[in-house]
Structure 1
Amino acid sequence: MTLTPESRQLLPVATKPSHARGKRVAATCYWKCADACSHPVPNKSANEYFRDIASKAMSRRVLLGGAAVAASAVVVGATVLDQDGAAQATTLGEHGGRWPGHGGPGGQVKGLSFGPIQTQDAAVDAFTVPEGYEWSAIVRWGDPILPGGRSFDAANQSPEQQKLQFGYNVDYLDILPSDPRDQKNMVETRRGTRGLLVTNHEYTNREIMFPAEMDAAKGRAIERAAHGMSVVEVARRREGQPWSYLRVAPRNRRIHMETEFVVDGPVAGNDLLKTVEDPTGTRVRGTLNNCAGGTTPWGTVLSGEENWNGYFKVAAGNPRSQRYGIGTAATRYGWELDDPRFDATTPGYENEPHRFGWVVELDPYDPQAAPVKHTAMGRFKHEGANIIVAPDGRVVAYMGDDEAFDYVYKFVSRNKMKPGDDRRSRAFNKTLLSEGDLYVARFAGDSPAAEIDGRATVPSDGAFDGTGQWLPLVVDGVSHVPGMSVAEVLTFTRLAGDAVGATKMDRPEDVEPSPFTGNVYVACTNNSSRGNTGAKEAATEMNPRNQNRDGHIVEIVEGDEQTGTEFTWNLLLVAGDPSVNGSTYFSGYPKDKVSPISCPDNVAFDLKGNLWISTDGQPSSIAKCDGLFRVTLTGAERGKVEQFLATPRSSEACGPLVDLRDQMVYVNVQHPGDDGSFAAQTSFFPDYVAEGATPAAGDWRGPRPSTIQVYKKRR
Structure 2
Amino acid sequence: MARASFSRRNIIRGGIGLAAVGSLPMLAACGGGDDAPDLTNVQKPLGFEAVGKSLLDNVVLPAGYTYTVLHSTGDRLVSSIPAYSNLGTETDDWSMRVGDHHDGMDLYYIGADGKYSTKETGRAVLAVNHESSADAHFFHPKGQTSNNVNGKKFSQFGTWDLGKRPADEVLKEINHHGVSVVELRKGSSGWSYVIDSLYNRRVTAQTPVRFGGPAAHMAHIRSFMVTAFDTSGATSRGTLNNCGHGITPWGTYLACEENWAFYFNMPVGSPALDAKTAESRRRYGVARTALAADAKTGVSQGWYTPSDTDNRFTRWNPAPTGASAAADFRNEPNTFGYNVEIDPLTHGTPVKRVAMGRFAHEGAWCGLPVVGKPLAFYQGCDSTNEYIYKFVTAANWDDKDIGGGLAAGDKYLNEGKLYAAKFNDDGSGEWIELVVTDPRISGYATYPFANQADVFINARHAADAVGATKMDRPEWGAVNPANGEIYMTLTNNSSRTPSTTHAANPRAYADISRKDTKTPGRGNPNGHIIRWKEKDSASTASSFTWDIFLFGAEDTMPANVNLSGLTAKNSFSSPDGLWFSKTTGICWIQTDDGAFTDETNCMLLAAIPGKVGDGGKVTVQNKMAVGSSEVTANQVTFIGAALGEANLRRFLVAPPGAEVTGITETADGKTIFVNIQHPGENTKAIGSAANFSFESQWPGNQGFGPTGRPRSSTIVITRTDGGVIGL
Alignment TM-score > 0.5, same fold: yes
**What residue in structure 2 maps to residue 601 of structure 1?**
576
Q: Could you say if the C-alpha distance between residues 665 and 492 of structure 1 is closer, same or farther in structure 2, counting changes exceeding 3 Å?
A: same
Deviation at 1:173, TM superposition (A): 1.4
* Secondary structure of residue in 1 paired with 2:546: strand
Which string of whole-angstrom CA distances, capped at 9 and with x for unpartnered residues, describes residues 311-331 of structure 1?
112656611111111233443
Contact 1:614 1:653 in 2 (8 A): yes
Q: Distance in 2 between matches of 1:643 and 1:307?
A: 29
* Secondary structure of residue in 1 paired with 2:584: coil
**What residue in structure 2 maps to residue 377 of structure 1?**
356
Q: Could you say if the C-alpha distance between residues 586 and 156 of structure 1 is closer, same or farther in structure 2, counting changes exceeding 3 Å?
A: closer
1:539 aligns with 2:475: no
Which string of whole-angstrom CA distances, capped at 9 and with x for unpartnered residues, describes residues 206-248 of structure 1?
222222277642212110111111100011126xx52110011
Gaps of 5+ in 1: 1-88, 447-465
* Secondary structure of residue in 2 paired with 1:420: helix
Residue number among 480, 493, 506 corresponding to 2:459 in the alignment: 493
Q: Distance in 2 between matches of 1:102 and 1:495?
A: 45
**What residue in structure 1 maps to residue 484 of structure 2?**
518
Residue type at the aligned position of 2:362: E
Deviation at 1:623, TM superposition (A): 3.9
1:114 aligns with 2:48: yes
Deviation at 1:275, TM superposition (A): 1.2
Residue type at the aligned position of 2:257: E
User: How much is the aligned-residue C-alpha RMSD, in angstroms?
Assistant: 3.2
Residue type at the aligned position of 1:398: Y
Residue type at the aligned position of 1:378: G
**What residue in structure 2 maps to residue 324 of structure 1?**
284
TM-score by length of 2: 0.75
Q: Distance in 2 between matches of 1:550 and 1:103?
A: 40
In the TM superposition, 1:334-353 aligns within 5 A as 334-338=302-306, 339-347=313-321, 348-353=328-333
1:527 aligns with 2:527: no
Which string of whole-angstrom CA distances, capped at 9 and with x for unpartnered residues, describes residues 174-204 of structure 1?
122113999999xxx6533111011011111
**What residue in structure 2 maps to residue 46 of structure 1?**
none
Q: Distance in 2 between matches of 1:180 and 1:435?
A: 34
Q: Could you say if the C-alpha distance between residues 362 and 184 of structure 1 is closer, same or farther in structure 2, counting changes exceeding 3 Å?
A: closer
Contact 2:250 2:404 in 1 (8 A): no
Residue number among 653, 666, 679 corresponding to 2:691 in the alignment: 679
Contact 2:343 2:406 in 1 (8 A): no
Bigger shift: 252-261 or 215-224?
Answer: 215-224
**What residue in structure 1 maps to residue 659 of structure 2?**
652
Q: Distance in 2 between matches of 1:704 and 1:621?
A: 19
**What residue in structure 2 maps to residue 548 of structure 1?**
524
Which string of whole-angstrom CA distances, capped at 9 and with x for unpartnered residues, describes residues 58-101 of structure 1?
xxxxxxxxxxxxxxxxxxxxxxxxxxxxxxx9435999998996
Which string of whole-angstrom CA distances, capped at 9 and with x for unpartnered residues, describes residues 587-615 of structure 1?
6xx53475011101111001232211110
1:91 aligns with 2:66: no
Q: Distance in 2 between matches of 1:213 and 1:438?
A: 43
**What residue in structure 1 maps to residue 107 of structure 2?**
175
* Secondary structure of residue in 1 paired with 2:461: helix
* Secondary structure of residue in 2 paired with 1:471: strand
**What residue in structure 2 maps to residue 572 of structure 1?**
549
Residue type at the aligned position of 2:717: V
Segments of 4+ moved more than 6 angstroms:
93-105, 109-112, 180-185, 477-480
* Secondary structure of residue in 2 paired with 1:225: helix
**What residue in structure 1 maps to residue 395 of structure 2?**
415
* Secondary structure of residue in 2 paired with 1:310: helix
**What residue in structure 1 maps to residue 590 of structure 2?**
614
Q: Distance in 2 between matches of 1:689 and 1:286?
A: 34
Q: Could you say if the C-alpha distance between residues 602 and 182 of structure 1 is closer, same or farther in structure 2, counting changes exceeding 3 Å?
A: farther
**What residue in structure 2 maps to residue 300 of structure 1?**
252
Q: Distance in 1 between matches of 2:68 and 2:438?
A: 51
Residue type at the aligned position of 1:119: K
Residue number among 63, 75, 78 corresponding to 1:143 in the alignment: 75
**What residue in structure 2 maps to residue 706 of structure 1?**
713
Contact 2:265 2:300 in 1 (8 A): no
TM-score by length of 1: 0.76
Q: Distance in 2 between matches of 1:282 and 1:94?
A: 46
Q: Could you say if the C-alpha distance between residues 497 and 102 of structure 1 is closer, same or farther in structure 2, counting changes exceeding 3 Å?
A: farther
1:366 aligns with 2:346: yes
**What residue in structure 1 maps to residue 473 of structure 2?**
507
Q: Could you say if the C-alpha distance between residues 621 and 570 of structure 1 is closer, same or farther in structure 2, counting changes exceeding 3 Å?
A: farther
Q: Distance in 2 between matches of 1:673 and 1:284?
A: 34
Deviation at 1:682, TM superposition (A): 2.7
Residue number among 232, 246, 251 corresponding to 2:182 in the alignment: 232
**What residue in structure 1 maps to residue 537 of structure 2?**
560
Contact 1:472 1:480 in 2 (8 A): no
Contact 1:111 1:608 in 2 (8 A): no
**What residue in structure 2 maps to residue 275 of structure 1?**
227
Q: Could you say if the C-alpha distance between residues 167 and 529 of structure 1 is closer, same or farther in structure 2, counting changes exceeding 3 Å?
A: same
Q: Distance in 2 between matches of 1:184 and 1:479?
A: 45
Residue type at the aligned position of 1:332: S
Deviation at 1:102, TM superposition (A): 8.7
Higher RCO (CA 8 Å, separation ≥ 6 residues): 1
**What residue in structure 1 maps to residue 124 of structure 2?**
195
Residue type at the aligned position of 2:352: K
Which string of whole-angstrom CA distances, capped at 9 and with x for unpartnered residues, describes residues 506-552 of structure 1?
000112222221111010000011117xxxx6111100111100000
Deviation at 1:352, TM superposition (A): 0.8
Which string of whole-angstrom CA distances, capped at 9 and with x for unpartnered residues, describes residues 348-377 of structure 1?
21111010001101101102x001100010
Which string of whole-angstrom CA distances, capped at 9 and with x for unpartnered residues, describes residues 32-65 of structure 1?
xxxxxxxxxxxxxxxxxxxxxxxxxxxxxxxxxx
In the TM superposition, 1:386-535 aligns within 5 A as 386-391=365-370, 392-420=372-400, 427-429=407-409, 431-446=411-426, 466-474=427-435, 481-483=441-443, 484=449, 485-531=451-497
Q: Distance in 1 between matches of 2:425 and 2:548?
A: 11
Q: Could you say if the C-alpha distance between residues 527 and 103 of structure 1 is closer, same or farther in structure 2, counting changes exceeding 3 Å?
A: farther
Q: Distance in 2 between matches of 1:434 and 1:180?
A: 31
Q: Distance in 1 between matches of 2:181 and 2:406?
A: 19
Contact 1:182 1:190 in 2 (8 A): no
Instruction: Tell me the percent identity.
Output: 31
1:286 aligns with 2:238: yes
**What residue in structure 1 maps to residue 334 of structure 2?**
354
Q: Could you say if the C-alpha distance between residues 161 and 426 of structure 1 is closer, same or farther in structure 2, counting changes exceeding 3 Å?
A: closer
**What residue in structure 1 maps to residue 63 of structure 2?**
131
1:211 aligns with 2:144: no
* Secondary structure of residue in 2 paired with 1:569: strand
Contact 1:397 1:410 in 2 (8 A): yes
Deviation at 1:127, TM superposition (A): 0.9
Deviation at 1:502, TM superposition (A): 0.4
Residue type at the aligned position of 2:102: V
Matched positions, count: 587
Residue type at the aligned position of 2:504: M
Q: Distance in 2 between matches of 1:94 and 1:576?
A: 32
Residue type at the aligned position of 1:561: A
Q: Distance in 1 between matches of 2:64 and 2:497?
A: 45
Contact 1:298 1:426 in 2 (8 A): no
Deviation at 1:686, TM superposition (A): 1.2
Contact 1:442 1:503 in 2 (8 A): yes
Gaps of 5+ in 2: 1-17, 146-164, 267-271, 292-297, 307-312, 322-327, 444-448, 509-522, 616-641, 723-727
Q: Could you say if the C-alpha distance between residues 467 and 431 of structure 1 is closer, same or farther in structure 2, counting changes exceeding 3 Å?
A: same
